[in-house]
Amino acid sequence: MSTATVETKGLLAHLTGFVAALRGAGIPVGVGECVDTASVFAAVDVINREDLREGLATVCVKRPAYRLAFDTMFDLWWPLATGDGEALGEAGGGDPGQDGEDGDGEFGDGEPDIDAWRKALADALMDGDSETLKRLARRAVSKLGKGAAGGGRESYYSYRVMRALNPDTLVAQLLDGLLNKAESERGGMQEQVARQTIKDRLAEFRQYVDAEVRRRVAEDRGKEQVAKTTVRPMADQVDFLRAQSDDLAELRRTVHPLARRLASRLAARRRLGRSGRLDFRRTVRASLATGGIPINTHHKPRKQHKPELVVLCDVSGSVAGFSHFTLMLTAALREQFSKVRAFAFVDTTDEVTSFFSPGEDLPRAVQRIGNEANLVWFDGHSDYGHAFEIFEEKWPEAIGPKTSLLILGDARSNYRDPSLQTLKKMVSRARHAYWLNPEAQRMWGSGDSVATRYADVIEMKECRTAQQLADFVHDMLPGA
Amino acid sequence: MSVEQSASAPIGAQHRPQFGGVDDVLIRLGQAGYLADRATATTVFLADRLGKPLLVEGPAGVGKTELAKAIAEATRSDIVRLQCYEGLDEARALYEWNYKKQLLRIQQGSNAATASGETWDDASDDIFSDEFLLERPLLTAIRREDPTVLLIDEIDKSDVEVEGLLLEILSDFQVTIPEMGTVHAKRRPFVLLTSNATRELSEALKRRALYLHLDYPGPERERDIIVSRVPDIAPALADQIVRTARALRAMELKKSPSIAETIDWAQTLLALGLNTLDEAAVKETLGVVLKHASDAAKAAGELRLN
């Protein structure tokens, strides 16, 4: 408490700077929460950095997706230590003793002995001791991570550490070690479990190295600069079309609850106002128990309109990230509702509903769609017009007055006939029709995109990120 | 202390923090049989100290409801639980008038009224009094004078309207009953909301609460939990169980094994007299941790059980 009062002004300024940085990184922190951060300061033991981190997180981070950005900012604003991190790390970091000694002597100050490093890393990974891993990461960055940054300056890089230590090549050795402990033969379940354990620990080590690099770079260039450049966009703001494979995994995790939410939203609509017209007979009968006064009224159950959903999804290469994700969404909807029909197309259309039978494993379903469904007619380039025509020809009954039609694609039709009339017919038969386009709206209509022409016929929404999809679910679907 | 109190505390509601510090939380939750990590303990401590509701979100089976029970035990509080579900309304969550009793009162009164000259106003004042009020969990928690933990379980299962209903209670610890006026909390309950994140909760609700994302524990802690719940188990076996469970959780199954299920698993293995978790043992007992046929098939494939 005394430290807080002595330096209140500086601390408060620091705190508001931190909050501003959080907002800059896309984490919404309200004024009330900003006030609460000050309360956190007064309540927790500021000397204990991890308590402070969790305390601020509990006030500022209201969604798991924000946590990574928060941690990054926290490390920048409350660095564990400065310089090589040994002295301060011991005094202020809350892990007294056991630091240092064994390190520098063994690894030396001159040319780093890579084999010794790798051995130390292998031991730490084998034990799975987080503290040792953290210490090792800290030292590895300072000794191995330095490199030229242009303009005669030096900077720190994760990849240099990873290249020098090359922990992936340790896996075989670690596997032997872990399996010997488990006294079991290789190739079976034990190995799979051991692999997962090693993967977890390697990821942990990598995470420590990244954090340490951020800290060192922030020290050199100022935290504001680093804050601007190092924070990756949050998973729900990653562009579908540019998503990398690890983004996709992250995206899958954010999208899964979203798909469920979308489904539950449709279901909630269905249930709203579940009591229908007054059931006069039952009400009168029930009133006999209360002397003829109808205290409890009874209602006839309302006729339920089961939502029927038809999803038409472009799965061509140009929208790979997006289609992967939309197929997931379709699968989730398919599990929730009996009346969902899914169609995929490239330049011709095929029904893929059966691939999403409940209990089907999704990655396998996507693979099977690629192999077994009849999606390519001419040359495997998107042809929206032809796809629509085939759809109308083969499944005219799919769209009825109760159907919501959802088309997913970028509307890039390779200069072929867009067949607007067919789409118009489809839309006019459906109860609702929406088109989600993974391209930025300013790109619509450029080149071979017929998005603007389609947009005249059907309500088209830009849907580049999971966040935008969530907004769509929120705004549009209540009518479904 | 006074500064942060005035910033967030409502008028009238007595708030008495019950934990001395983060370590105190850790120790007392531990005594109540809940092995919390430091992040959880810090959050619980702050919720207690700042007198704010705590929203705990995370996958099913990581111990959200258990946490509330442990807090209740650690602070010697009684727990008042509101289980949310679709269609939960004010009458079930907050309070309800006991119509039948009111009706009786009016009928009985109308005979006496002609004799004694009781007016309509007297009667209507009377039937909207405490005697005819049916307390539901939220009102009960507000009116209790003993230490109370109010657990609002699975808030994401309820309709959006319920969140609106909660806002007054969560920020000011008071309930307005039109016929009676506003009921203030005499003693602020420790409020814990849980959610499986099946839908996004409103910003207003999140703003009023502290937030904790509770995830599966790290391997050491999960092993400790198993050992504390199943004391007869060999630590090496517990270690195997935890690592296998983690491998299962990494597989993107429909229903990942929860902590409760790993504990069940430990108990099952113990009951079967197995002391190592090899292929045969897993094959035999996979049903304890995986609840979908497709999950079991996938796990068997990836773990190479066949």
- Residue A148 is given by DSSP the state E
A252 inside 8 A of chain B by CB: yes
Q: pLDDT tens for residues A289-331?
A: 888 788 888 887 765 556 678 888 888 776 666 767 677 777 7
A59 at the B interface (CB within 8 A)?
Answer: yes
Q: Which residue has the higher pLDDT, B113 or A216?
A: A216
**Per-residue model confidence as pLDDT tens digits over B19-60:** 988 999 999 999 998 999 999 999 999 999 998 999 999 888
Q: Which residue has the higher pLDDT, A267 or A138?
A: A138
d(CA A203, CA B250): 13
Q: Could you tell me which chain A residue has the CA closest to the CA of B104?
A: A290
**pTM higher than 0.90 for the full model?**
no
Helix (H, G, I), strand (E, B) or coil at A368: helix
Give the model's confidence band at A261: pLDDT under 50 very low, under 70 low, under 90 confident, else very high.
low
| CB contact at 8 A, A332 and A264 | no
Q: Which of A15, A31, A47, A62 to mutate to test the interface with B (most CBs of B within 10 A)?
A: A62
Q: Establish if A40 touches chain B: CB-CB under 8 angstroms.
A: yes
Mean pLDDT of chain A: 75
Q: What angle do CA B252, B255, B259 make, to 5 degrees?
A: 105
Q: Which of A58, A191, A272 to mutate to test the interface with B (most CBs of B within 10 A)?
A: A58
Q: What pLDDT does residue A337 have? A: 59
Q: Three-class SS string for chain B?
A: CHHHHHHHCCCCCECCCCCCCHHHHHHHHHHCCCCCCHHHHHHHHHHHHHCCCEEEECCCCCCHHHHHHHHHHHCCCEEEEEECCCCCCHHHHCEEECHHHHHHHHHHHHHHHHHHCCCHHHHHHHHCCHHHEEECHHHHHHHCCCCEEEEEECHHHCCHHHHHHHHHHHHHCEEEECCCEEEECCECCEEEEEECCCCCCCHHHHHHCEEEECCCCCHHHHHHHHHHHCCCCCHHHHHHHHHHHHHHHCCCCCCCCCHHHHHHHHHHHHHCCCCCCCHHHHHHHHHHHCCCHHHHHHHHHHCCCC
**pLDDT recorded at residue A321:** 67
pLDDT of residue A242: 64
Q: Show the beta-strand stretches assigned E in A84-152.
A: 146-150
Residue in A258, A474, A234 with CA at minimum distance from that of residue B197: A258
Closest CA to A48 of B22, B26, B227, B103: B22
Number of other residues whose CB lies within 10 A of the CB of residue B159? 18
Half-sphere exposure (Cβ direction) of B186: Cα atoms closer than 13 Å: 9
The distance from CA B180 to its chain's CA centroid, rounded to whole angstroms, is 29
* Among B4, B200, B211, beta carbon nearest to A58: B211
ipTM (interface pTM): 0.84
CA distance A235 to chain B (A): 16
Structure confidence at residue A126 (pLDDT): 82
Query: CA of B63, closest CA in chain A: separation in Å?
Result: 17
CA distance A60 to chain B (A): 8
CB B8 within 8 A of CB A36: yes
Average pLDDT over residues B98-126: 75
Min Cα–Cα distance to chain B from A351, Å: 23
Residue A255: closest C-alpha in chain B? B198
Structure tokens at A396: 């005219």
Rounded alpha-carbon distances, angstroms, from residue B118 to A80, A106, B110, B111: 76, 96, 9, 10
Tokens 């111990």 sit on residue: B63
Kind of pairing, strands B210-213 and B54-57? parallel
A409-432 pLDDT per residue, tens: 888 888 888 888 888 988 999 888
CB nearest to A188's CB, from B49, B57, B279: B279
From the list A36, A290, A361, the residue facing B103 with the nearest CB is A290
**Distances, alpha carbon A81 to alpha carbons A77, A116, A243, in Å:** 11, 25, 34
Count CB neighbours of A469 within 10 A: 24
Q: Mutate which of A44, A189, A254, A364 to disrupt the B interface (most B C-beta within 10 Å)?
A: A189
| C-alpha–C-alpha distance, residues A106 and A98, integer Å | 15
pLDDT of residue B3: 38
Q: Which residues of A touch B290 (CB under 8 A)?
A: none
Contact A306, A339 (CB under 8 A): yes
pLDDT in tens, A436-472: 888 888 888 888 888 888 989 898 988 887 778 777 7
- List Cβ neighbours of A297 (8 Å cut-off, separation of 6 or more): A278, A283
